[in-house]
Structure 1
Amino acid sequence: MSNAVKDAVGRYGIWWAGLRSKDPALRGEAAEAAAELEQLGYGAIWLGGNTSAADAAPLIAGTSRIVVGTSIQSIWEHEPADTAAAFADLEAAHPGRFFLGLGVSHAKSADQYRRPYSALVAYLDGLDAAGLPADRRLLAALGPKSVELARDRAAGSIPYLVTPEHTAYSREILGEAPLLAPELMVVLETDPARARSLARGALAIYLALPNYTNNFLRHGFTEDDLTDGGSDRLIDAVFAWGDESAIRARIDAFREAGADHVALQVVDGEPRDSLPRAAWSRLADLLA
């Protein structure tokens, strides 16, 4: 099952919120950018934020090969039957091009946030009943129970804001077959002070979310690492920055820890609805 998933997404993809723009004036440029990512050799586009099949459809229609996945669709905002119907429509039009990435989001983002693990299990039950196949869905899994769920009831895991150590931990739980595709933020900057400043700007919103901070604490960081925008140790663990060899080495560390695919998110200080096409091209050259 998962070998087909791994073949579909390839080794590297781009994670970006701006590619899901709902502004009609920007959708054409987003589709152009998606086609460019395909030409650059990326295997997948991961739509950042709470996204759905409707956000993926224009990008899939404007390309011929690249896979598009949600990263993530919140279980609190879409009913399983509606999700399955949207998946079926997109699958009929473009077979094999869309993967549903699911997650429980955060208490600050969903008023109905209660018993998230149980809610996720119930949601997967609903998808099963509605006929959405397990081998086309992925879970944004951080803790051990959710990683087990990604192993047993999905095609794998797409964790966000993690380290190579978390990747190795996830691989041990998942076993060999399921897809493991962590996201990694990349700062194309060699000056340490500026690189870490850009990283802290991107990290700030996540340090207010317990799902992420608790995961850091589970994997060897301390409360001190989570203060003042994040310690250098934390920044250097969850971001790739520096010259091309340093960035490539950091990406390779995730692969060596067990990642099948790495979803790269450029951090440049620009708004998240921008399209950093020059940076994506630089990354493609670095990965070649």
Structure 2
Amino acid sequence: MDLAGVGVWSSQLRYGDPAQAAESAAELEELGFTALWIPDVGGPVLDSVAHLLAATERVMIATGILNLWMHEPAEVAGGYADLTGRHGERFLLGIGCSHAPLIDSKEPGRYRKPLAATRAYLDGLDAAEQPVPVQNRVLAALGPKMLQLSATRARGAHPYLTTPDHTRYAREQLGAGPLLVPEQTVLITDDGDAAREIGVPWLRSYLALPNYANNMLRMGFTPEDVSTVSDRLFDALIAWGDEETVLRRVNEHLQAGADHVCVQVLTADPREFPHEQWRRLAAALR
């Protein structure tokens, strides 16, 4: 399972129209993207992985991330074995512990000790009748303890909503061997006001979650940066501008130690498949 280059992170591929998702996945493969990443905030995520694997031939399909509170490890291991048996080793299992406000909203008090919960989940995958290979799984990780667990119990880490400085920090924590695959959010527009109009509400929804807010503070941003979504924070987290601006940011991650960068395109309509932007990025990459 070789993962390099640039991939696409897309909620539309997971939660959009299934026929359009399949067509889009096939096109993204032809455009040269090396992996397609999908989120998991509920529902049968392995069905979505199967759908995208069936629609493609070579590209890797990855969960970014499979929410460990929503899926039993034995079922995931069985599904993983079935999918790799049918499609080869093209499924990278990204696993994460999500966020307390999301998990506790349905079952107060369920979310606790995320590091221990992740270890226990990995134990379950290892103990399954057909274990998920360590080299075919990554962990959502931001802080040092989860990054270190990514280096010892998985192939590496998939940090989300981060900066090239965090990528450099993550590489230092992981060491030279493990895989490091950060997500990078982008807006292809030269209009700064339009970029903020789209990006600020999107960022606020994430920065309301302690994991992300605390990571920003750990990386040197101030509480005011976080609460106001300052220009400094906005520009650090979202690469906005033309295609060359986006590629410069991708290269900053790669130079900081990333092995692969998955790009998430934002548009005014979050339900829209950003075909034009994907095509423009692919052309620039070539």
> Percent identity, aligned pairs only?
48
The aligned counterpart of 2:275 is 277
In the alignment, the residues of structure 2 paired with residue 285 and residue 175 of structure 1 have an alpha-carbon distance, to the nearest angstrom, of 33
Moved more, 242-251 or 209-218: 242-251
- The 5 Å alignment of 1:1-288 reads 5=1, 7=2, 9-21=3-15, 26-50=17-41, 52-111=45-104, 112-130=110-128, 131-228=131-228, 230-271=229-270, 273-288=271-286
* Cα pair 2:39 2:66 within 8 Å, conserved: no
CA spacing shift, 1:265–1:246, aligned 2, 3 Å: same
* Cα pair 1:34 1:63 within 8 Å, conserved: yes
* Cα pair 1:182 1:259 within 8 Å, conserved: yes
SS of equivalent to 1:20: helix
SS of equivalent to 2:167: helix
CA apart distance, 1:178: 1.2
CA apart distance, 1:244: 2.8
In the alignment, the residues of structure 1 paired with residue 72 and residue 224 of structure 2 have an alpha-carbon distance, to the nearest angstrom, of 40
In the alignment, the residues of structure 2 paired with residue 202 and residue 281 of structure 1 have an alpha-carbon distance, to the nearest angstrom, of 23
In the alignment, the residues of structure 1 paired with residue 257 and residue 196 of structure 2 have an alpha-carbon distance, to the nearest angstrom, of 26
- Deviating above 3 A after TM superposition, structure 1's stretches of 4 or more consecutive aligned residues are none
* Cα pair 2:243 2:280 within 8 Å, conserved: no
SS of equivalent to 1:132: coil
In structure 1, runs of 5+ residues without a counterpart are: none
SS of equivalent to 1:227: helix
In structure 2, runs of 5+ residues without a counterpart are: 105-109
CA apart distance, 1:166: 0.6
In the alignment, the residues of structure 1 paired with residue 117 and residue 247 of structure 2 have an alpha-carbon distance, to the nearest angstrom, of 38
CA apart distance, 1:81: 0.5
CA apart distance, 1:62: 0.9
Q: Root-mean-square deviation (CA), in Å?
A: 1.2
SS of equivalent to 1:202: helix
In the alignment, the residues of structure 1 paired with residue 243 and residue 47 of structure 2 have an alpha-carbon distance, to the nearest angstrom, of 36
TM-score normalised to structure 1 length: 0.93
* Cα pair 2:142 2:215 within 8 Å, conserved: yes
CA apart distance, 1:246: 2.1
